[in-house]
Amino acid sequence: MSPRTKDPRAAAGQQARRAQAAWGELPGAQKTLGVVVALALLVGAVAFVQWQRAPQLSPLFTGLSSADGGAVVEELQAAGVAYELTDGGATVLVPEEQVYDLRLQMSAAGLPGDDTGGYSLLDEQGVTASQFQQEVAYQRAVEGELAKTIGAIDGVEAAVVHLAVPKKDVFVDESDAPTASVLVQTRAGKTLDKGQVASVVTLVSSSVEGMLPEAVSVVDGTGTLLSAKAAGPGSGGGVEAADMTADFETRVAGDLQTLLDTVVGPGNAVATVTAALDFDATEATTERFLAPEEGVLPLSETTEGEQYTGAGGAGEAGVLGPDNIVVPNITVQGEASDNAYSSASKTVNNAVGKVTERVVSAPGTVERLSVSVVVDRDAVARTDMLALQDTVSAAVGLDAARGDVVSVTQMPFDVGDAEAVAAELEAAGEAAAAEGRQDMIWNAVLAGLVLLVVIITLVMGARRKKRSEPVDLGLYAPADDEPVAVPAIPAPRAEALPAAPDPEAAQLASLTSQRDEVIDLVDREPAEVAELLRGWLADRRSS
């Protein structure tokens, strides 16, 4: 083995000892931080590897009902396929590479089942079905189709529809109107708003002949009545009337408050609106006839006349007496006279104009409006209250005929609580800001420590690598049988060696110490040592 060749095991052991020595020189805080960083990197690497090895999941079916979801899960468990449920059990996730195969298998098994109702029931009827069976099957089919349609609304998991359609009778002039009830089961965390409930009511009432929207009641899974059927048509009672009144008052008060904030400044005025709304639906029909216009020809005109002329004379006359016996009259002798009779009638049918007015009053008209505005007297001292009252009256549409009232007054506002709340909010904001700054400082310190550990680790690794690499000193490599010239080690200075009773032992210790220093110098500064040796060899060759 040449003198320049090093044993790998010895070099590895030397590097391990140096690393151990460098680790021992580090303070306790840096050691702890280094261990924490190493553990974090190890945990992150393990999590990354597990995430890479985990199968990618894709939706197999979405929007499943509870029954279909349970059947699909049973099939997956029987087949030993890993799955995951999301969206409250309505979505089933399976490995991405098995999606299409599993869909074909589920379809062959009849899943998800979608032929449990609707018009498919009519296909199962035979030719021997009675009229009653046909009517019941048709009603069940309509109910099933309506339930499927309602189930397609966002947020609806399942729906059940029941129709009550009176039987038609030819001997009855008027029959009861059909009614319907809808039970809606919403998904977890979902609720139906008023627009969706109105859509359900309109959908059901439009699907059945003669059914009015007021005859449809919608109930959720908790038993809460969502439609306004309990209030009756046009009555406007119940929760719907209260909501409409509150919405109207809030809208008017909001517009008025915006106006006041612009006029007297934000926070210097408060407006309150109270409204009485009429939710009774009324209908009135009025007919008026107009006088015929001049110059317009009549529609029809009829003239009738009668005339009679005859001669009169003396004659006998009598009257009937008792038992229908004619009692002769006294005969009067006189001169003959002429009798004449005439009559005439005329009928004219003129074109008379007719006006029919039908007025329907929609529920929700304003019966009475009360508005109260209070202005801060301390903040707004020079405000024309009369002008402000006129402005408020015009803004809310004051109608004195229906009894509306507007009141505008000045009062001092109690701002003690508001100031306390503002102070608390300011203190809370400052505390949150201080906490945020402290978190930022701690994060910066932690990041700096991590960066420092990384830099120290890189520097130490570079040094260890530099020390472990063989250094070509550029010296002459002698043959194996050629003697090697070792440079002479300079004698130590006399003042550097302490006095010893044994000169040989002292000289040996001095040589050993100098040898260790030279080895350490070669390890620390290999380039400078190589340059020094080149100089020595050049001096010896020149001599």
pLDDT tens digits along 305-349: 888 776 555 444 555 556 656 555 554 454 545 567 788 888 888
Closest CA to 463 of 30, 9, 23, 19: 19
- Give Cα 133 distance to the centre of its chain: 45
Which residues have C-beta within 8 Å of that of residue 257, sequence separation ≥ 6? Answer: 269, 270, 271
Predicted confidence at residue 216, as pLDDT, reads 93
Predicted confidence at residue 228, as pLDDT, reads 62
Which residues have C-beta within 8 Å of that of residue 129, sequence separation ≥ 6? Answer: 137
Q: What sign does the CA torsion over 90, 91, 92, 98 have?
A: positive
| pTM greater than 0.75 (yes/no) | no
Greater confidence (385 vs 542) lies with: 385
Paired tokens of 216: 């449809």
Letter string b/e over residues 462-483, b meaning 16 or more CB atoms within 10 A of that residue's CB: eebeebeeeeebeeeeeeeeee
Predicted confidence at residue 130, as pLDDT, reads 83
Paired tokens of 442: 């701690």
Backbone angles phi, psi at 124, to 5 degrees: -90, -5
Query: DSSP string covering 293-339, please?
Result: PTTPPPSEEEEEEEEEEEEE-----EEE-GGGPEEEPPP-----EEE
pLDDT tens-place string over residues 179-234: 999 999 888 778 888 888 989 999 999 999 889 998 999 999 888 888 864 444 44
The arithmetic mean of pLDDT across residues 509-535, rounded, is 74
Predicted confidence at residue 475, as pLDDT, reads 44
**What's the one-letter identity of residue 304?**
E
